[in-house]
Amino acid sequence: EHGVLVQAATRGDGESGEDVTHNIRTIRQIPLRLQGCEAAVLEVRGEVYMRRDDFEALNERQRALIAAGAKGEKTFVNPRNAAAGAVRQLDAGIAAKRPLSFFAYGLGDVQGWAVPPTHSALLDALAAMGLPVCADRVVTRGAAGLVDFHRLMGEKRDALPFDIDGVVYKVNDRALQEKLGFVSREPRWAVAHKYPAQEQITRLLDIDIQVGRTGKLTPVAKLEPVFVGGTTVSNATLHNEDETRRKDVRVGDSVIVRRAGDVIPEVVGVVLEQRPPEATASEPFDLYKRLGGQCPVCASPIEREEGEVDWRCSGGLSCPAQRKQALLHFASRRMMDIEGLGDKLVDQLVDAGLVNGLPDLYRLSLESLATLERMGEKSAANLIAAIDKSKSTTLGRFLFSLGIRHVGESTAKDLARHFGSIERLMDARLEELLEVSDVGPVVAASLRHFFDQPDQPKTHREVVAQLIEAGVHWPDEVGTASDAPRPLLGKTLVLTGTLPKLSRDEAKALIEAAGGRVSGSVSKKTHYVVAGAEAGSKLDKARELSIPIVDEAGLWALLNTP
């Protein structure tokens, strides 16, 4: 503000993050006062990182401390983890001991400063203010220029003082950036072009089956530990039965393991020339046969819906594994944000019978937590405080935390904005759900199934009611959903030819106001074709598919249907 650093925050979920001003002030590259900028507000966005030489020096100091007998010290696996951990330290003194660097790459809120018209000029302006900006950048034209830069940086990659996993292409014209906008968590005007992921060969010791939050059964490769992509990997996903069979992965094989950035390690393929005799003699992977048709955790029957690749446990929340994953999802940072509720503690709570469903979290007490192994009084008090703090949330975060299949963070926010209340959403018909931006038939059906179908031991409606009764709340919203009659909800109409009185735009507006959708082409999913004078091939297509055809009077009749 007015050129002086007043606050630094992590991006969090894109709407709220953590205040880390105390740590960012320790990064010498970041000026406490800008040069030549007195803007009322200038929100600069960028990335904290750690240089390779600084990382090696940090680990050298850590090794010396460990050798001297210092307790609680450790070396770091890679610069990325070391930097991320430092930024979120509560103690600025610890952060100051970790050599952090910073690159500015964009803007947020700006008040009182004329933003340059291009992205390249913006970066030049930030550099002139004293903010560090990556020097390895060019303005280029066309695909050939992008590919040349990607190749050049690939050749230069090992000589850079910091780690990279690719380059980013950005539209230079800021007016075009504004026009293109964003989708969910990323801009339409920028795209990352990664370099090939690092790969290593190791031996497959066994195949485990993990049970996920929605009951999905995932085969996981147990590996001889191997260092790849900046960390030691001993587990890697095999995705599903079909993928495992397609790659013909068998226990005892030498397999190629890949890991890039934060991506879960995966088995890419098998080195067939190194296959041992016992693997050759074994049968291709069969998940159903391996499990005897039962969930490995709760022994419920496993099932696979027609057209799906994944097997699932049918036990719902009566399955401890699904319950644990549901709790972890519910407590995650972008959902209810219950700090301190991690894997080990969730295991203890479920195994001890203290938590059998989401509402049970809000019934925990210091006395009940004291029964858990290695749970001190301070830790228990911190957890109770974090659970209590989580009661105040937003409807979007609450919906996301429930773990409704196919409903991600962005869709949850759209649903919250549209319906405004959980009651209105739970009672919404399929046709009303389909009115929400980016909600299609699959998501709509999943929402109806979630709120309509009983789940063990309670229905999801009861779970929601008990969470609200426990004190979970969010600000009231009006919602954009209309209470006006919607006679064409869920219907798709196609306009063809010239209508006697209505223009095409007027007809389209009337249809959409009645809850319908106007499509430009006729298909089996079309409900009505509205035909006027000189209707063309769309009319022929409608007759061919036996789709009802109406004129302007017929359209008015549909619009006025009670």
Flag whether 173 is in a domain. Answer: no
CA distance 464 to 461: 5
**CATH code of the domain in which 278 resides:** 2.40.50.140
Q: In terms of domains, do 347 and 435 share one?
A: no
Which residues neighbour 70 within 8 Å (Cβ) at sequence distance 6 or greater?
Answer: none
Residue with tokens 């031996």: 203
Flag whether 101 is in a domain. Answer: yes
Q: In terms of domains, do 383 and 401 share one?
A: no
Strand partners, 194: 166
pLDDT computed for residue 212 by the predictor: 92
**CATH code of the domain in which 527 resides:** 3.40.50.10190
Q: In the chain, pLDDT over 70 holds for what percent of residues?
A: 98
Query: Is 53 in a helix, a strand, or coil?
Result: helix
CA atoms within a 13 Å half-sphere pointing along the CA-CB vector of 453: 11
What's the whole-number mean pLDDT along residues 340-358? 93
Q: In terms of domains, do 124 and 204 share one?
A: no
DSSP string, 119-133: HHHHHHHHHHTT---
Flag whether 190 is in a domain. Answer: no
**Burial of 86 from C-beta contacts in 10 A (0-12 / 13-18 / 19+):** buried
Flag whether 378 is in a domain. Answer: yes
Q: In terms of domains, do 50 and 131 share one?
A: yes
Least confident of 81-95, 380-394, 490-504, 528-542: 81-95
Supply the DSSP symbol for 75: -
Least confident of 124-128, 234-238, 407-411, 479-483: 479-483
Residue 132 pLDDT grade (very low, low, confident, very high; cuts 50, 70, 90): very high
Q: Provide φ and ψ at 465, rounded to 5°.
A: -60, -40
Number of domains in the chain: 5
Whether residue 73 is predicted with pLDDT greater than 90 in this model: the reply is no
Q: In terms of domains, do 118 and 52 share one?
A: yes
What's the whole-number mean pLDDT along residues 265-289? 93
Q: In terms of domains, do 208 and 281 share one?
A: yes
Residue 458 pLDDT grade (very low, low, confident, very high; cuts 50, 70, 90): low
Q: Where are the beta strands (DSSP E) in 112-188?
A: 166-170, 182-183, 186-187
Domain's final residue, options 135, 156, 174? 135
DSSP string, 346-407: HHHHHHTTS-SSGGGGGG--HHHHTTSTT--HHHHHHHHHHHHHTTB--HHHHHHHTT-TT-
Flag whether 421 is in a domain. Answer: yes
Give the strand pairing for 266-270 and 254-259: antiparallel
Q: In terms of domains, do 370 and 442 share one?
A: no
Flag whether 408 is in a domain. Answer: yes
Residue 240, CA distances (Å) to 297, 334, 403, 408, 500 in order: 18, 27, 21, 21, 57
Whether residue 113 is predicted with pLDDT greater than 90 in this model: the reply is yes
Query: Is 497 in a helix, a strand, or coil?
Result: coil
pLDDT computed for residue 52 by the predictor: 93
Flag whether 502 is in a domain. Answer: yes
Q: Domain residues for 215?
A: 198-286
CA distance 13 to 4: 26
CA distance 551 to 533: 9
**CATH code of the domain in which 360 resides:** 1.10.150.20
Of 114-128, 340-354, 517-531, give the range with the top mean pLDDT: 114-128
CA distance 503 to 496: 11
CA distance 515 to 513: 5
Q: In terms of domains, do 226 and 263 share one?
A: yes
Whether residue 455 is predicted with pLDDT greater than 60 in this model: the reply is no
Helix axes 52-67, 79-87, angle to 10 degrees: 80
Least confident of 50-59, 92-101, 201-210, 420-429: 92-101
Domain's final residue, options 96, 117, 135? 135
pLDDT computed for residue 477 by the predictor: 80
CA distance 452 to 427: 9
What's the whole-number mean pLDDT along residues 349-354? 93
Query: Is 444 in a helix, a strand, or coil?
Result: helix
pLDDT computed for residue 457 by the predictor: 55
Q: Rg for the chain (alpha carbons), in Å?
A: 28
Two tokens at 400?
């996301």
Tell me the average pLDDT of the chain.
Answer: 91
User: Do residues 135 and 161 touch, judged by C-beta distance below 8 A?
Assistant: no
CA distance 271 to 203: 10
Greater model confidence, 282 or 198? 282
Flag whether 302 is in a domain. Answer: no
Strand partners, 118: 173
CA-wise closest residue to 190 among 176, 208, 211, 205 = 176
Which residues neighbour 522 within 8 Å (Cβ) at sequence distance 6 or greater?
Answer: 494, 529, 538, 541, 542, 545, 547
Whether residue 275 is predicted with pLDDT greater than 90 in this model: the reply is yes
Q: In terms of domains, do 33 and 48 share one?
A: yes
- What digits encode the pLDDT tens for the residues 309-330? 999 998 887 899 999 999 999 9
Domain's final residue, options 389, 418, 443? 389
Residue 553 pLDDT grade (very low, low, confident, very high; cuts 50, 70, 90): very high
Whether residue 249 is predicted with pLDDT greater than 90 in this model: the reply is yes
CA-wise closest residue to 58 among 102, 103, 97 = 97
pLDDT computed for residue 353 by the predictor: 92
- Which residue type, as a one-letter code, is found at position 467? L
- The total of other beta-carbon atoms located within 10 Å of residue 105's CB is 18
**CATH code of the domain in which 74 resides:** 3.30.470.30
- What digits encode the pLDDT tens for the residues 395-427? 999 999 999 989 999 899 999 999 999 999 999
Least confident of 99-103, 287-291, 317-321, 549-553: 317-321
Residue 479 pLDDT grade (very low, low, confident, very high; cuts 50, 70, 90): confident
Q: Is the peptide bond before 296 cis (omega within 30 degrees of 0)?
A: no
Alpha-helix residue ranges (DSSP H) falling in 390-513: 395-401, 409-419, 422-427, 430-433, 441-452, 460-469, 504-513
Q: In terms of domains, do 30 and 127 share one?
A: yes
Q: In terms of domains, do 273 and 209 share one?
A: yes
Q: Provide φ and ψ at 460, rounded to 5°.
A: -65, -30
Q: In terms of domains, do 278 and 356 share one?
A: no
pTM over 0.75: no
Give the strand pairing for 254-259 and 312-313: unpaired
pLDDT computed for residue 142 by the predictor: 94
Handedness of CA 61, 66, 72, 77 (dihedral sign): positive
Whether residue 297 is predicted with pLDDT greater than 80 in this model: the reply is yes
